[in-house]
Structure 1
Amino acid sequence: MAYQALYREWRSQTFDDMVGQKMITQTLKNAIVQEKVSHAYLFTGPRGTGKTSAAKVFAKAINCKHSVNGEPCNQCEDCVGITEGRVNDVIEIDAASNNGVEEIRDIRDKVKYAPTQVTYKVYIIDEVHMLSTGAFNALLKTLEEPPKHVVFILATTEPHKIPATIISRTQRFDFKRIGIEDIEEHLTTILKAKDIAYEEAALKIISRSAEGGMRDALSILDQAISFSGDKLTTQDALEVTGSLTNEIMDAYLEHCVSSETEAALSVLNQLLTEGKESNRIVENLLLYCRDLLVYQKAPNVLEGQVGLITESFKKLSELVKTDELYQLINELNETQKEIRYSHQPTVYLEVMTVKLSTAKMTAPTEQQGNVDLPEIQNLMDKVMTLEKELHQLKTTGIAQNTNNQQASSSQNTKKAKVPTYRIPTEQVYQVLQKATKPQLVSVKGAWDELLQFLSVTQRAMIKASEPVAASDDSLIIAFDYEILCQKASQDEDLLFAIKNGFERLIRYSPNLISVPRDQWSELRQSFISQMEPGESGEAPKTEEKDPVIEEAKELFGSLVNIIED
């Protein structure tokens, strides 16, 4: 028999086999036992976390005549047939290659017919977010009123791309990333079953590299087994995953903290020469700094971490101060964001290395302790002089100028209240003329996801705002505070980050227009009033509806108030 990849050989055949998704599997088992099977389910989550496997196990469990506690027996004809893909009533569809209206209409026509081999006809639609708008509309009616013998299971890694009308008609289950300990335990089980010798540290490296995906972990393990000899060693795992050894990370960080720029760059060049990927270098250093920080503050947490708590690790944890670790982590995190979409990641790594090795890493308390006493005395003398001048001004009588000052102050106050931000009214009107409700719904659906593309400062600014109108090429954002509105409109980095984020999330690259929230209603009402027919003095014709007004009503709903001139 031909060799079968580990992730296929060890695909979960029961709910109990699934790793790290206890809440989901228990809920599905209870639904089967209590005979409360819904007509549609939505499984979402990162890749390799068990969405499709859970769908197949569920299809077997609801059709198995010998199920126990909601689990399929995996021995009857129906279970074996579904596992081998021979049951015509369990249909698995890849929406990435079957995303047109015709394919979904074909499903809609066939669901009317009763299953021929098993109790339920099950449709498993993988990567459902790839369906076109027309295909989603064709699927909508079927999901709303499906036949009793049909169950739909939709699986996706990008739920924000699915229309809310589809999501609301399903039971949603969010699969989470699998923990490192759970992955490590499962890999141990597999290696013991295959009687393969291994080092525990090797499994920890593979588990970390999988980033929460069991399928990725099994693929890496498969490759590592092929690469290794009689025993899976730590060095084999490092080579296959491209991870860094603790020794080389110790050397790099020690050079950075000791301000040895040339030596730190030399270590970096060595890593790049060995073929290490830029993002893997930064990721490993980030995790290592995290381990150092945890070891400094809570050493018991890292007990039992095989291969981590070495003598060089302990020495480095004593050498690096906590404040220095914070700075290292922040810089590594920023670099990780920069190289994600860069064509020249090596440049960012070199710049990062120079920054880390030349930055003056001193704690605030130390900086305060290094202030010279003469400088403090000089500042105190200046403060005393200013206090004397202030006292003299109060006692020498400046009442004659009080009225003038009050008048001036009043004028200044009035000026200060004038808004400093000039609203681009004409641009706002142009967007409102083309704005559509589906586009705004799409933007709002991706709004929370957008935050991951922004820095901490940008994220704080955007959290005080909301998208209020969207056309095909422009987006209006209302800010809670006028000062934030002005800053956002002038922040080119923020505008670029938002456009770039939307481009990646929903293929949308809008021109961004900022308005204060307290003036948005007035702007919107003014636009609707201007678009009303009969502006020239003629009575509007009640029997004809202006398409612009109707579109505005559809976009803004009950908020629209038309005022007759």
Structure 2
Amino acid sequence: MAYQALYRVWRPQTFFDVVGQEHVTKTLQNALLQQKISHAYLFSGPRGTGKTSAAKILAKAINCERAPVSEPCNQCPSCIGITNGTIPDVLEFDAASNSRVEEMRDVLDKVKFAPTAVNYKVYIIDEVHMLSISAFNALLKTLEEPPKHVIFILATTEPHKIPLTIISRCQRFDFRRITAGSIVERMKLITEESGVDCDDRALQMIARAADGGMRDALSLLDQAISYSQDRVTLEDALTVTGAVSQGFLNKMARAINEKDVVSGLEALDELLFHGKDPARFIEDLILFYRDMLLYKAAPNLEESLERVMLDEEFRQMAEEIPIEEIYQLIDLLNKTQQDMRWTNHPRIFLEVSIVKLCQLESKHSAVPQSGVMEQLLSRIDQLENELQQLKSSGISQTVQDPAPQPQKAAPRSSRNTFQPPVGKINEVLKQATKTELNLVKAHWGEMRGSILKSHAALLNEAEPVAASAAAVIIKFKHEMICQMAMSRNDFLEAVAATLFKLTSKQFSLLGVPEEQWLSIREEFLNSGHHDESGSTGESVREEEPHIAEAKKLFGAEFVEIID
């Protein structure tokens, strides 16, 4: 055959050509220059990232006639012979098809003989994890006491299957997945050298479909070149990779966002009619929403997007769809993807998934939060109207009565829009005990986790500050939230019922804003009620024996109790 695949023609012949593995190539080049060559190396990493190529380059650099060098010259007889595979001292052994111990021993029996054509014998064992246990044991003996003229280079995609006794005797290098940008740059160089006209968007699509493997990318590029006519276009790349176009993903996302089941199913039917793989489509759709989520979180990190290209339609949809809904969409798509792996009819699961996505309603975890926000906004509007009315009445009073400091009336009235039941609070404080308060606090977190999230949201900045056998006083940081909570019977019933379930005690709830609680508490302490009941502090409590004894010794007026 006169034609050779691109990945064979453009196989790296120097460390410089190994793309995306600078952490490996730099270390090996320094070792070559300093003549610190190990007797065994382990190259591990995903397929198509340059493990075997790097092993052959290392074999050439070690045996190059110009050594020590950081790069093989590829011109001397040793380099040319190793490249062509005509030097028997450099042996590439495929462990996947030669996994038995007999075949391994046949190779290792020749290790003791000195090299004939070059300075070092190099054994490159590809897919070494496929060796049997007996074969590993035979290899281990040689790795323990290797001859000075032998170097082993083991390559694998599954290092966890290699015995630790083997790994510990090798210098390990982990090859990484190659970034899409590096793959695109390499393919641009190849297409320019080959005289192939190729769209940049097509190269980006091929790079993303390669999933970090340069060999896969070049194979897809080779296939796209054969499929295309004069120029490799984005549509050619989509056809070869089986991926779905950006426009189709935007169309499907628009149908889901607008809850249009008919358009969603029609688009899906069109997709499957053109032979697209359902599994590949749902993966593309998951990546589409993943990229949308990242774009909303960090709009400037365009290079982190894996699937989409930032066109105007995508930007507009990203602004329309809330983050909470994207979470739900990804969860549902991911569940569908898992189900499709175990069925012979993936199309049915995909169609059901599209219907669910188009009919998706926000779950109770999201609806109450939005409901709370609507109530908050409505309440803010109401309070602003009342504030305007109070200001208007304050101004009229100012005109009629020029008494000093008349303007304080309006703000004062606005702060006191919520009037806590001071009488009931004082009655609770008279009977409050530390035991009851600690009981409520001990179950407070569990109670919040048991009620609806809309109810729990009202308690985000609230805490119990006093409790008697029949009631609990809850302090709210914000007056508006306090009024909202105390006006909702469903909230009061839910909290009381949950506390009864946890504590076996029926408590009624009294709410008070933080600012008003400070004044109510101070007035209660100054009134002398706490002396009668033996209570003081933020949580009114029973007086402990040592406090009573201190009052007897020094007098109650000289004793200050600090929590």
Q: Tell me the equivalent position of 1:499.
A: none
> What is the aligned residue count?
392
Q: Tell me the equivalent position of 1:527.
A: none
Shift in Å, 1:263: 2.2
TM-score between the two structures when normalised by the length of structure 1 = 0.65
Task: Indicate conservation of the 8 Å contact 1:184/1:207, yes or no.
Answer: yes
Shift in Å, 1:368: 3.0
The alignment-based identity, stated in percent, is 52
Deviations 1:275-330 (A, max 9, x none): 11122112211222222223323222228999822222122222211221222223
The residue type equivalent to 1:322 in the other structure is: I
Shift in Å, 1:160: 1.2
CA, structure 1 residues 197+208, in 2 after alignment: closer, same or farther (shift >3 Å)?
Answer: same
Tell me, what secondary structure is at the counterpart of 1:230? coil
CA, structure 1 residues 281+385, in 2 after alignment: closer, same or farther (shift >3 Å)?
Answer: closer
Distance 1:113 1:241 in 2: 49
Shift in Å, 1:196: 1.6
Alignment of 1:111-126 (within 5 A): 111-126=111-126
Distance 2:189 2:268 in 1: 37
Shift in Å, 1:68: 6.5
Alignment of 1:426-465 (within 5 A): none
CA, structure 1 residues 85+367, in 2 after alignment: closer, same or farther (shift >3 Å)?
Answer: farther
Task: Indicate conservation of the 8 Å contact 1:207/1:217, yes or no.
Answer: yes
Task: Point out the more displaced range, 365-374 or 309-318.
Answer: 365-374
Tell me, what secondary structure is at the counterpart of 1:226? helix
Shift in Å, 1:58: 0.6
Distance 1:391 1:225 in 2: 76
Distance 1:118 1:87 in 2: 8
Deviations 1:104-137 (A, max 9, x none): 1112211000000001101111111111111111
Distance 2:507 2:85 in 1: 92
CA, structure 1 residues 300+170, in 2 after alignment: closer, same or farther (shift >3 Å)?
Answer: same
Q: Tell me the equivalent position of 1:378.
A: 489
Shift in Å, 1:56: 0.5
Q: Tell me the equivalent position of 2:302.
A: 302
The residue type equivalent to 1:8 in the other structure is: R
Q: Tell me the equivalent position of 2:61.
A: 61
Task: Indicate conservation of the 8 Å contact 1:201/1:307, yes or no.
Answer: no
Q: Tell me the equivalent position of 2:44.
A: 44
Shift in Å, 1:385: 8.2
Q: Tell me the equivalent position of 2:401.
A: none
Task: Indicate conservation of the 8 Å contact 2:496/2:507, yes or no.
Answer: no
CA, structure 1 residues 50+374, in 2 after alignment: closer, same or farther (shift >3 Å)?
Answer: closer
The residue type equivalent to 1:378 in the other structure is: N
Task: Indicate conservation of the 8 Å contact 1:254/1:316, yes or no.
Answer: yes
Tell me, what secondary structure is at the counterpart of 2:187? helix
Name the larger-Rg structure.
2
The residue type equivalent to 2:95 in the other structure is: A
Distance 1:354 1:42 in 2: 50
The residue type equivalent to 2:335 in the other structure is: E
Task: Indicate conservation of the 8 Å contact 2:35/2:68, yes or no.
Answer: no
Deviations 1:161-205 (A, max 9, x none): 111111111111111110010001111111111122221111110
Alignment of 1:485-504 (within 5 A): none
Q: Tell me the equivalent position of 2:70.
A: 70
Shift in Å, 1:269: 2.0
Q: Tell me the equivalent position of 1:358.
A: 359
Task: Indicate conservation of the 8 Å contact 2:286/2:333, yes or no.
Answer: yes
Deviations 1:495-539 (A, max 9, x none): xxxxxxxxxxxxxxxxxxxxxxxxxxxxxxxxxxxxxxxxxxxxx
Distance 2:5 2:182 in 1: 20
Shift in Å, 1:341: 4.8
- 1:157 paired to 2:161: no
Q: Tell me the equivalent position of 1:348.
A: 349
Task: Indicate conservation of the 8 Å contact 1:124/1:154, yes or no.
Answer: yes
Q: Tell me the equivalent position of 2:251.
A: 251
Tell me, what secondary structure is at the counterpart of 1:300? coil
Q: Tell me the equivalent position of 2:320.
A: 319
Task: Point out the more displaced range, 279-288 or 141-150.
Answer: 279-288
Residue 368 of structure 1, aligned match among 343, 364, 372: 372
Shift in Å, 1:230: 1.2
Shift in Å, 1:376: 5.6
Task: Indicate conservation of the 8 Å contact 1:67/1:73, yes or no.
Answer: no
Distance 1:246 1:344 in 2: 26
Q: Tell me the equivalent position of 1:186.
A: 186
Q: Tell me the equivalent position of 1:137.
A: 137
Shift in Å, 1:270: 1.7
Deviations 1:531-565 (A, max 9, x none): xxxxxxxxxxxxxxxxxxxxxxxxxxxxxxxxxxx
Tell me, what secondary structure is at the counterpart of 2:73? coil
CA, structure 1 residues 342+376, in 2 after alignment: closer, same or farther (shift >3 Å)?
Answer: farther
CA, structure 1 residues 217+385, in 2 after alignment: closer, same or farther (shift >3 Å)?
Answer: closer
Q: Tell me the equivalent position of 1:330.
A: 331
Distance 2:320 2:260 in 1: 14
Distance 2:130 2:304 in 1: 44
Shift in Å, 1:39: 0.8
Distance 2:361 2:175 in 1: 43
Task: Indicate conservation of the 8 Å contact 2:291/2:308, yes or no.
Answer: no
The residue type equivalent to 2:169 in the other structure is: R
Q: Tell me the equivalent position of 1:167.
A: 167
Q: Tell me the equivalent position of 2:418.
A: none
- 1:265 paired to 2:265: yes
Query: CA-atom RMSD, angstroms?
Result: 2.7
Distance 1:326 1:14 in 2: 46
Task: Indicate conservation of the 8 Å contact 2:264/2:354, yes or no.
Answer: yes
Q: Tell me the equivalent position of 1:222.
A: 222
Distance 1:77 1:55 in 2: 18
Q: Which runs of 5+ in 2 are unaligned?
A: 376-453, 455-483, 509-563
Task: Point out the more displaced range, 338-347 or 102-111.
Answer: 338-347
Distance 1:89 1:162 in 2: 25
